């Protein structure tokens, strides 16, 4: 929990950056920054679950990651301009420093091999990260996206490394015990970012009726996101891991589905901030895209998450995505107010939450699918 606290500031700055630049370029930059911050947390969470966190080397590694994450957070607002080297340098230093601390400190040969795989692949991705920081314009974004592709792709392939091979599937199972708790905890912190940003925005804009309604809608959205996340799949993730024939598969896939959901919360936060600032007036495509796209992004990740746990997707998830997709062009053409878009998104989430409650009370508890 102490480690996760430093990511609250990073998430808040990411959502604020998007709210200040509702363009395709702003969305792309936010995606890159979000993916980088998330990967720092995800790899650190996996590492602390694989080893004993109270051992001095692990404790030193955790504190170092916290400081590096704070540097990344500070550099976030200008990461694509003047602070590019600070952001990229901190990211590279976190991942390489983690392995450089662990490789000589770990006694188990298997554990050292695992840390060595991390060291190899993050050394490879460090090249485009630092090269991108030294470049300007579109080249920076292209190189950073290539670096992220290396980081995420190597993890998906279980870090195939010369002379060390891939990470054994059984080793991922060692981290499964606390997986559900860690991801639920981080998702709750992401919702805390939504509460923080909306509260600060509301406090700084007065207490007009329109802004009070926008703030109330943002709070309702926060509650609904939490309710939809924990309903069944979120609550049963731990038992699904325990009953799975391949718990490591959930360990490997959870970072990707939760990235989509956490990104959805961050986008929702940016939309809520923009709506509270200007609840009335015409909405541009960027603002409508953020207000409706945040919940849609969350629902896409949540649907995939549900499939991982139950090997099926509730029809309400798909209907919600279709409604949000249809509402976006309609609101743009009608020049609807931002507050109207926010209310539509909240009503869609309320419909999903209601359908979940009705379905849960209408049949006996369903055990997680053993498909994994």
Q: What is the pLDDT of residues 243-266, one digit of tens each?
A: 555 656 677 788 899 999 999 999
DSSP state letter for 231: I
Which residues have C-beta within 8 Å of that of residue 70, sequence separation ≥ 6?
Answer: 6, 9
pLDDT of residue 367: 47
Task: Report the distance separating Cα 200 and Cα 273, nearest Å.
Answer: 9
Query: How many beta carbons lie within 10 A of that of residue 322, not counting itself?
Result: 12
Instruction: Pick out the chain residues at pLDDT < 50.
Output: 366-372
φ and ψ of 54, to 5 deg = -85, -5
pLDDT of residue 370: 39
* Pick from 335, 220, 331: nearest CA to 272: 220
The SS3 call for residue 165 is: strand
Q: Which helix (H) or strand (E) holds 145?
A: helix 138-156
Query: How many beta carbons lie within 10 A of that of residue 178, not counting itself?
Result: 14
Asked if residue 66 lies in contact with residue 3, where contact means CB atoms within 8 angstroms, the answer is yes
Task: Report the distance separating Cα 198 and Cα 19, nearest Å.
Answer: 12
Q: Is 82 exposed, middle or buried (0-12, 13-18, 19+ CB in 10 A)?
A: exposed
Q: At what angle do helices 338-361 and 285-310 cross, to 10 degrees?
A: 10
Write out pLDDT tens, residues 324-353: 999 999 998 888 899 999 999 999 999 999
Asked if residue 344 lies in contact with residue 220, where contact means CB atoms within 8 angstroms, the answer is no
φ and ψ of 28, to 5 deg = -65, -45
pLDDT of residue 50: 67
pLDDT of residue 176: 60
Q: What is the dihedral of CA 58, 64, 66, 70, to 10 degrees?
A: -170
Which single residue is written with the structure tokens 């994994």?
Answer: 372
Task: Report the distance separating Cα 287 and Cα 243, nearest Å.
Answer: 43
């Amino acid at each position: 929990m102490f480690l996760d606290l430093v990511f609250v500031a990073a998430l808040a700055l990411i959502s604020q950056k998007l709210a200040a630049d509702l363009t395709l370029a702003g969305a792309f930059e936010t995606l890159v920054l979000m993916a980088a911050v998330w990967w720092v947390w995800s790899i650190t969470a996996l590492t602390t679950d694989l080893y004993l966190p109270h051992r001095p080397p692990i404790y030193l590694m955790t504190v170092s990651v916290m400081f590096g994450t704070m540097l990344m957070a500070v550099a976030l607002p200008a990461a694509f301009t003047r602070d590019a080297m600070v952001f990229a340098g901190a990211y590279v230093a976190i991942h390489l420093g983690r392995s450089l601390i662990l490789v000589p400190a770990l006694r188990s040969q298997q554990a050292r091999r695992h840390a060595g795989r991390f060291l190899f692949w993050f050394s490879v991705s460090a090249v485009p990260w630092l090269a991108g920081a030294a470049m300007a314009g579109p080249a920076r974004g292209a190189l950073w996206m290539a670096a992220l592709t290396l980081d995420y792709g190597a993890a998906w392939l279980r870090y195939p490394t010369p002379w060390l091979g891939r990470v054994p599937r059984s080793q991922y199972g060692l981290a499964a015990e606390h997986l559900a708790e860690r991801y639920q905890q981080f998702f709750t912190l992401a919702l805390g970012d939504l509460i923080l940003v909306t509260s600060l925005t509301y406090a700084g804009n007065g207490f007009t009726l329109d802004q009070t309604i926008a703030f109330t809608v943002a709070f309702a959205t926060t509650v609904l996101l939490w309710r939809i996340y924990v309903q069944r799949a979120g609550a049963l993730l731990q038992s699904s891991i325990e009953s799975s024939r391949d718990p490591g598969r959930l360990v490997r896939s959870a970072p990707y589905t939760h990235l989509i959901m956490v990104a959805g919360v961050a986008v929702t936060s940016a939309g809520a901030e923009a709506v509270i600032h200007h609840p009335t007036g015409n909405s541009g495509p960027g603002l409508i895209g953020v207000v409706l796209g945040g919940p849609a992004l969350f629902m896409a990740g949540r649907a995939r998450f549900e499939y991982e746990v139950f090997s099926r997707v509730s029809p309400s998830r798909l209907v919600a995505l279709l409604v949000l997709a249809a509402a976006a062009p309609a609101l743009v053409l009608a020049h609807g107010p931002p507050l109207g878009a926010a209310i539509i998104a909240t009503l869609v989430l309320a419909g999903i939450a209601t359908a979940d409650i009705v379905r849960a009370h209408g049949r006996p508890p369903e055990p997680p699918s053993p498909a994994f």
